[in-house]
Structure 1
């Protein structure tokens, strides 16, 4: 991980320590209500950010859960510890964008499809 990414990820991880893991956010989260998986909940994403900052998973492994978050911040309204989820989300999106752009610097064309990033090499004959 590059220094620039590390700074943003550290800032995001510092925000995660405000979460007390109570679960009040779960019923307010549209993606959790739809998918019913912990990684698609604010609490799950918070844990993933913390684990990524500790180096146990890569930033790329955060991409799908982070990209699927609607960013509605309804979780913040029910949070008893006032965890700044929206701020954390934006910091992680910056890290994700930096990572994805670096992965695709070799490509002639970079196409973003849904929550997946795909690179296509175009041969010029």
Structure 2
């Protein structure tokens, strides 16, 4: 499998004044380990009038399971508050709560996924994943 970094585009919806630049985070992202049973296999990070949103796809058969789209919190480094470098997004599946934290670094998106079951029966897990931009998409 080959991958190439597709150029990312500016948000279709203008950002309000004082909102950090998010274009580095935007796009369709593919997990480099498609056999991973923990965390997301694909992410779609978009900007809308209301802010940054993340749509995640996890393991499933025959197609990846769509976790849905949720709002994300954007973070900026202290020395560059005008440019977003990371985000967090929370998925609530009832008895399972999953938090995805992601940051952009040198062309890749690195995520951590923490999933906790509320029933106390275990099965909680943490995973770190690396994503590249989906080929031919921005």
Q: TM-score range by the shorter chain?
A: under 0.3
User: Hey, which of these two has a bigger chunk of strand by percent?
Assistant: 2
TM-score under structure 1 length normalisation: 0.27
Larger Cα Rg: Structure 1 or Structure 2?
Answer: 1
